[in-house]
Amino acid sequence: MVPPLVLDIDGTLTDAQGRLDPRAFEVLPTWDAPVILATGKAFPYPVSLCHYLGLPQTVIAENGGVVLVDGEVTFAGDREAAQAVADEFVARGGDLGWDAADTVNRWRETEIAVNLDADEELLREVAATYDLEVIDTGFAYHVKSHGVEKGAGLEHVCETMKYDPADFVAIGDSENDASTFRVVGQSYAVANADEVAKEAADEVLEESYMDGTLSVLNALQ
């Protein structure tokens, strides 16, 4: 019996250029237990990935802000406050860093993501005045409500699916995966992970990106 999985996307199922590693299509569609995608990306991204992997749509998006399980969507986090932070940041000379179409935030419902080129100090200062936090995933800064996290999202998924989070194996690469690592039974940080993720993981893998992820998945089969 293979264990259920909770998998980060960027940095974990991708290559160093951020492209989805096609080997995900070899191993995930036939995984004989639930596979939950848990990401900082906006909701449509993991939903689409489940769709094209042929997996049931059970996803944690926006760092736990949006959870879809058993056909029901729940939200956590104050999008209006995050928008107010973004507006004030821009008014004070900050640059969110996206083009006019802003597909990064267009479908984002509980938080705001800002390009890593942005003025981090100013962003953190503005966020603090709205009692929001900023996390750095290595792919974007996320302006989000305290307490909204992937780990809480997984607990919600497990309550609905009647699973124990402790039965799950988690793999991830960033600060936003630490909460997942804390609630699962076994957690792995890929070699490209940041220090927060490495510190929180039960094990730090020798290999990076999908090579690291596959080393775990192959050993579990």
Identify which of residues 10 and 78 has a Cβ nearer to ligand PGA in the complex: 10
Q: Which position has the token pair 């995930």? A: 28
* Catalytic residue selected from 8, 131, 194, 211: 8
CB of 190 to ligand PGA, least distance (A): 11
The contact mask relative to ligand PGA for 72-111 (x = CB under 6 A, - = no) is ----------------------------------------
**Coil, strand, or helix at residue 72?**
strand
Q: Is 150 annotated as a binding residue?
A: yes
Encoded tokens for 194? 């940041």
Judged by CB under 5 A, the chain residues 153 through 192 that form the site for Mg ion are: 173-174
Distance CA 60, CA 46 (A): 8
Distance CA 38, CA 27 (A): 17
11 counts as binding ligand PGA under rule CB under 6 A: yes
Identify which of residues 41 and 69 has a Cβ nearer to ligand PGA in the complex: 41
**Coil, strand, or helix at residue 137?**
coil
CB of 73 to ligand PGA, least distance (A): 18
Tell me whether residue 8 is one of the annotated catalytic residues. Answer: yes
Identify which of residues 51 and 92 has a Cβ nearer to ligand PGA in the complex: 51
Distance CA 132, CA 128 (A): 6
Q: Is 173 annotated as a binding residue?
A: yes
β-bridge partners, 35: 5
Q: Is 162 annotated as a binding residue?
A: no
**Coil, strand, or helix at residue 77?**
coil
65 counts as binding ligand PGA under rule CB under 6 A: no
Q: Which amino acid would we find at residue 207?
A: E
Distance CA 93, CA 86 (A): 11
Judged by CB under 6 A, the chain residues 164 through 183 that form the site for ligand PGA are: 174, 176
139 counts as binding ligand PGA under rule CB under 6 A: yes
List b or e across 129-161, with b for residues whose CB sees 16 or more CB atoms inside 10 angstroms: ebebbbbbbbbbbbbbbeebbbbbbbbbbbeee
Environment class of 113 (CB within 10 Å of its CB; exposed 0-12, middle 13-18, buried 19+): buried
9 counts as binding ligand PGA under rule CB under 6 A: yes
Q: Which stretch binds Mg ion (CB under 5 A): 4-12, 58-66, 80-88, 104-112?
A: 4-12
47 counts as binding ligand PGA under rule CB under 6 A: no
> Contact, 37 vs 69, CB < 8 A?
no
**Residue ranges binding ligand PGA (CB under 6 A):** 8-11, 39-41, 137, 139-140, 174, 176
Catalytic residue positions, numbered: 8
